Structure 1
């Protein structure tokens, strides 16, 4: 069974039950099934068929869900696109995935217009016409439903893009089997039930919100509450008004309301049985602060990789304070884990090694990149995460470094090479190194160490402006450090660990 089968099964079981809650209104399982069948007809009219790819650059709206199921009913794969990307980044994904169609939110029309790709374009959530683009919502409402064809479990369901160390994103190929297992794993690990009311306030195109929490809730026949876009007040209001029982978000999504809303305590958050966070651990002090403010001890931290579904480990509520900073001790159900030292042996207490994961929800590989696919796996089907972890005396894992050059800020992955390449295009930048600096709320913040050329060195603001239409905003460095040179080995290899140590000490 895949998630499309699971959805159609839920329609037969509870057709009138609310599948989605959107802006105070319910969309039942049966209603979404009809919408998705009409969405399939709309996509088919655009030339989409089995084996094609459909890009979705949306916010958390029904249009995303309609297009998701519509594409799957045709045997096409979904390409969720980060709505924060700029036109060159979008263009690369559309080209690389050879997308046949793009469904996008009207708020993103200027970015889409600047990406000249020949795919069919359809706009959702439009209050007025977008020149030269067909209206998705109008077409779906008028289309005749079609059954489509049932995808095979081994067919590709999603191409999820994650930034690569070469500076270009890599497309993770996830089969229907993998996506379904990622949903089942989350449902088992967090005890999701048919009574769940899961708040989708983080972007639904992200792998964990999409496959773990949307997918897990769908699989169990629960209800998903859509919040178009995260805002601290709207987040708390939705929890209170919708009787939310489960929420997943980056740590900063929990901290922001505490800072921005002086009347935080007036919101009734008692319906929530599971507060889930990912994208970076939090310390003991912050764990105490969150438990006190949210009046709950039901916090879970999840760790995983897009390449594994994502699935990985969980730090459970009773471990939050005593093992603060850890990602957990054991892998989730259906996931096997090793921590492997440089000599190939399993790490023991006090040792540091790379986290390896083996699971049925792992990707088939990277799109058009056999070399990167081969490098990602060790013999025996183990996926090499690139994360280095230290084991404490009880076997809990603490991330200490990454073999992949990546910064995680606010739950978003930023690969240093991509930012370095963009900065290097500035005529007054002679050398650059991008690293992460620890940040109490965002996990890390992006820092650029820059060596300039010429007498009139550019200011930080000028460099940020230079990057504004080249990179998504979250990738743009918040701090710039100007130096005469960068630390390198005698052979010229950049010593980023020295820069990280320098930034951590300040």
Structure 2
């Protein structure tokens, strides 16, 4: 099954069921299917054909969804683009992917005008008079006839990694990969036709797109688009739209607690499940979320762009007892092993690299055979680069990124362990721990920190704070105080930028 066939099937079986809400209006499954057919007509008129790539540089807008399905109807692949990138970064993605056309949100037209990649531009609305208006073309277009759907192995998406270690790589996902990512995510969280899912995180990111937008449509539910995340708008939409399921990075749930004083007055009774990913929560933070949102229905998911994303699940009833864990294997079709450097599986308590296999796993990296070969072992398992230990119950605890491990004086220092210890300091708002070259020790441990507003951080006091928490060789020799840390739009630390900067 593919999503073109699935959408047409939903349009036949429940034509009047609300499928999509966004930009102040709704579309039924029948209307969404017809909008996707008109989008295919528009894209074909612009020269898009099977095998081409269509870039989508948009906020969470209905036009993104129409163009997604329209491109798939033509046998083209989509290239979702981070709308927070700067022009040279967008240029790289468009040129590297070979996109023929780019749909851009009207508000981002000034960004498009600074891009030199040779693509055809369409704007999602009339806010960009210099560009053709996709919405107007859509309104005037006749629906594309026929029921052709892409083969399972046809390329569906080129999903670019966050580029936390350098230039982003384009992950190639077939229609079969995308379908399994949606199906397994829906099964892991029991999505159903009754769910109203809020898509608040950027839709160009793999999990909001493949797991939750497509997972909701797969099950016949309703997807509600929040154009762009903001704490107040997030809470208001949860209540006003009677949302039953949403996904976000932990900060999406934590940020409202700092800026919305009356969160206890919000009616979240419709919420069935809250999902988060991008980093595990400790016991104190898990309790804080449960208390603030008056819910014990928080589930953590773990995965990565390369895996669809699919990986592990930490269910609500495990959140406190296994705080800090990313869960255990529980996603249908996903196999995970934690291995030693020699390839053997780790015993309980040992640290090793997470290896994964799943039907949602990417086919490889676009035009990068060396990186593709390095990403998979001889048996086809994906090497995640995440170091983890497994406890006696099979729960995984991320220790570090393999490339973030610091070796100082022959001792291994896991940066996440030091970050967690510093993060417990009441005056620390944000922290990243990196290794910098040292002539004698190989590397020295450096902590880059941001203080909470109105607070100060003294290196001597920080060292004293860590002395009862960490071995002496793990305590940073350098404390580098900053106003902010470089992060991607999804909150990932850009440690390669920190490593390249002088303390």
Fold conserved between structures, TM > 0.5: yes
User: Paired residue for 1:199?
Assistant: 198
Which whole-Å CA distance do the structure 1 matches of 2:477 and 2:24 have between them?
45
User: Paired residue for 1:373?
Assistant: 372
Instruction: Evaluate the alpha carbon distance shift between residue 290 and residue 499 of structure 1 in structure 2; reply closer, same or farther with a 3 A threshold.
Output: closer
Which whole-Å CA distance do the structure 2 matches of 1:46 and 1:502 have between them?
58
Which whole-Å CA distance do the structure 1 matches of 2:24 and 2:292 have between them?
26
Instruction: Evaluate the alpha carbon distance shift between residue 386 and residue 49 of structure 1 in structure 2; reply closer, same or farther with a 3 A threshold.
Output: same
Which blocks of at least 5 consecutive residues in structure 2 are unaligned?
Answer: 406-417, 449-473, 480-503
Instruction: Evaluate the alpha carbon distance shift between residue 318 and residue 166 of structure 1 in structure 2; reply closer, same or farther with a 3 A threshold.
Output: closer
User: Paired residue for 1:243?
Assistant: 242
Q: CA RMSD in A?
A: 2.5
- Measured against aligned partners, the alpha-carbon deviations of 1:196-248 in whole angstroms (never above 9, x if no partner) come to 11000111111000000011111111100111111111111111111111010
TM-score, with structure 1 as normaliser: 0.82
User: Paired residue for 2:461?
Assistant: none
Say whether residues 1:495 and 2:446 are aligned partners.
Answer: no
Which whole-Å CA distance do the structure 1 matches of 2:65 and 2:201 have between them?
15
Instruction: Evaluate the alpha carbon distance shift between residue 496 and residue 143 of structure 1 in structure 2; reply closer, same or farther with a 3 A threshold.
Output: farther
Aligned ranges for residues 72-471 of structure 1 at < 5 Å? Answer: 72-126=72-126, 128-131=127-130, 133-147=131-145, 149-164=148-163, 167-405=166-404, 445=430
Which whole-Å CA distance do the structure 2 matches of 1:494 and 1:74 have between them?
54
How far the C-alpha of 1:125 sits from its partner, in A, is 3.4
Which whole-Å CA distance do the structure 2 matches of 1:376 and 1:402 have between them?
14
Instruction: Evaluate the alpha carbon distance shift between residue 260 and residue 166 of structure 1 in structure 2; reply closer, same or farther with a 3 A threshold.
Output: closer
Which whole-Å CA distance do the structure 2 matches of 1:231 and 1:355 have between them?
34
Greater Cα offset, 301-310 or 495-504: 495-504
- Aligned partners of 1:487 and 1:498 also within 8 Å: no
- Measured against aligned partners, the alpha-carbon deviations of 1:279-298 in whole angstroms (never above 9, x if no partner) come to 00111001001101111100
SS at match of 1:63: helix
How far the C-alpha of 1:392 sits from its partner, in A, is 2.1
Instruction: Evaluate the alpha carbon distance shift between residue 136 and residue 91 of structure 1 in structure 2; reply closer, same or farther with a 3 A threshold.
Output: same
SS at match of 1:35: helix
More contact order relative to length (CA 8 Å, sep ≥ 6): 1
Greater Cα offset, 145-154 or 183-192: 145-154
How far the C-alpha of 1:145 sits from its partner, in A, is 1.1
Which whole-Å CA distance do the structure 2 matches of 1:489 and 1:253 have between them?
42
Which whole-Å CA distance do the structure 1 matches of 2:433 and 2:385 have between them?
22
Greater Cα offset, 323-332 or 172-181: 323-332
* Superposition misfits of 4+ residues, deviation over 4 angstroms: 436-441, 443-449, 496-506
- Aligned partners of 2:446 and 2:478 also within 8 Å: no
SS at match of 2:328: coil
Which whole-Å CA distance do the structure 1 matches of 2:5 and 2:445 have between them?
48
TM-score, with structure 2 as normaliser: 0.83
Instruction: Evaluate the alpha carbon distance shift between residue 111 and residue 243 of structure 1 in structure 2; reply closer, same or farther with a 3 A threshold.
Output: same
Which whole-Å CA distance do the structure 1 matches of 2:164 and 2:196 have between them?
38
Instruction: Evaluate the alpha carbon distance shift between residue 330 and residue 505 of structure 1 in structure 2; reply closer, same or farther with a 3 A threshold.
Output: farther
Which blocks of at least 5 consecutive residues in structure 1 are unaligned?
Answer: 407-435, 450-484
Which whole-Å CA distance do the structure 1 matches of 2:209 and 2:58 have between them?
13
- Measured against aligned partners, the alpha-carbon deviations of 1:473-505 in whole angstroms (never above 9, x if no partner) come to xxxxxxxxxxxx953356xx9737555855699
How far the C-alpha of 1:395 sits from its partner, in A, is 2.3
